[in-house]
A and B are shown apart, each in its own frame.
Chain A
Amino acid sequence: MKVRFWGVRGSVPVADAGSLRYGGNTSCVSVALADGGHLVFDAGTGIRSLGATIPPTSGPIHILLTHLHLDHISGLLFFAPLFDPKADITIWGPPGPGDLRSRLARYLSSPLSPVEIRELPAKVTFRECAPEGWQVGGARITATQVIHRGPTLGYRIEEDGAALAYIPDHEPGLGQDLENDPSEWISGHALAHKASLLIHDGQYTEAEYAMTVGWGHSRIADALSFARRTEAERVALFHHDPGHDDAALDALAEEARSVWRGDGELSMACEGATVEL
């Protein structure tokens, strides 16, 4: 499978000159499957650029939402295939109070949106993720609830022996000893175990985390502990804080590599980067 980062920023998009290298769009990652299928993880503002690259008749598109915070859905309205009557789109999301379509309609409706969800020209199906997992083409998808504020999923995709774990908003260290607790009690561990690539929340520095404990995001140290415990082959820290410009992210990357005790390759997710698994 081929993974591409379209948005790696957390919380809110940034358009500062100092953030162009890592990118300012919010969460969106695409996966091109071996059979030509399209998986899209989250619909942050990064999904707008992705939409321009998908031909209308290129087959079913599956958008897998981890949760419904704005930085993960605000790009939906700008995803071109949703406005193409030939497009066949399935939007997957976490279970919660009310059906997924109704929950998304709170954003895709007046006064927040000029277009109502019922007016989208594409054929759109809304599905809540089943805990037992499901198949898309040759890929096996598993979704599990993970620690974040509100119902939130992490995903694991397996195809042809490769596994991608996508857990962009996650605070597994909340009340947990990530170094020593049994793995079954660590949120998200099974999803990420021995993944070929783990894309994981690494939003905060130590100092920032001291002020944001319980907000549902990880300090980099916890992301590294989680990654080491899961034995992921590659790790991409993701959901960069909007206050961290390119220079700050470079410094954090260097610091993270200096304390990284895992065997896998560690990187900071960067908009536009691709990874072949």
Chain B
Amino acid sequence: MAASAQQPLDLILARNLMSVLETPSFLVDNDGQMVFFNEAAGDMLGKRFEEIGRLSREEWNAIGPVDAEGEPVSNDKMPLAVALRDGKPAHGRFHICTDQDKIVEVETSAVPLVSGGDFHGAMVVFWPVAS
């Protein structure tokens, strides 16, 4: 087939769901590439998905996790890392850096996407911790 291969159905459905959610959320494929983030996430990050497209693991590592001073921290135990590595849902709190260089503390929940016995990625919702 000449057309691009279809994304796994669970990723398509997750993206469709996120696109109507007002909760900031993003989608990562099984290579760790951020393949979509919604408008609410874009508002928080100061970027629109339609403008910048998908982000590699290195590119979105620049957003977070960081500490309160904006210094990178290990993401081994972060929710997304747990979801991608262990295939388990996970929840946690850390900081991210927006493109206005603002440091924002967020809570995050990550859910692995597994269907037909295959791991396809993870969906992540996050929201700012009320100050």
Contact = CB atoms under 8 A, between A and B. Distances in A.
Given A95-B116, A175-B20, A193 B3 contact: yes
B120 to A, nearest CB: 11
A184 B5 contact: yes
Nearest to B18: A175
A189 B19 contact: no
A33 interface: no
Interface in A127-159: 131, 142, 144-147, 156
Contacts of A191: 1, 6
B7 to A, nearest CB: 5
Contacts of A147: 9, 12-13
**Majority SS at the chain A contact face:** loop
Interface in A203-238: 230
Nearest to A195: B1
Contact of A184 (B2, B6, B17): B6
Given A175-B19, A176-B16, A190 B5 contact: yes
Contacts, number: 56
B100 to A, nearest CB: 28
Contacts of B9: 144-147, 187
A156 B17 contact: no
Interface in A15-61: none
A174 B5 contact: no
Contact of B16 (A145, A174, A183, A190): A174
A145 B6 CA distance: 9
B115 to A, nearest CB: 8
A146 B7 CA distance: 10
Interface in B1-33: 1-9, 12-13, 15-17, 19-20
Given A174-B16, A175-B16, A175-B20, A185 B1 contact: no
Interface string A243-277: 00000000000000000000000000000000000
A245 to B, nearest CB: 34
Closest 7 CB pairs of A and B: A175-B16, A193-B3, A184-B4, A145-B9, A190-B3, A190-B6, A95-B116
26 contacts: A95-B116, A95-B117, A144-B9, A145-B115, A145-B116, A147-B12, A147-B13, A175-B13, A175-B19, A182-B4, A183-B3, A184-B3, A184-B4, A184-B5, A184-B6, A185-B15, A186-B12, A187-B9, A187-B12, A188-B6, A189-B4, A190-B1, A190-B3, A191-B6, A193-B2, A194-B3
Given A175-B19, A185-B7, A185-B15, 4 more contacts: A147-B9, A188-B6, A190-B1, A190-B6
Interface of A: 95, 131, 142, 144-147, 156, 174-176, 182-191, 193-194, 230
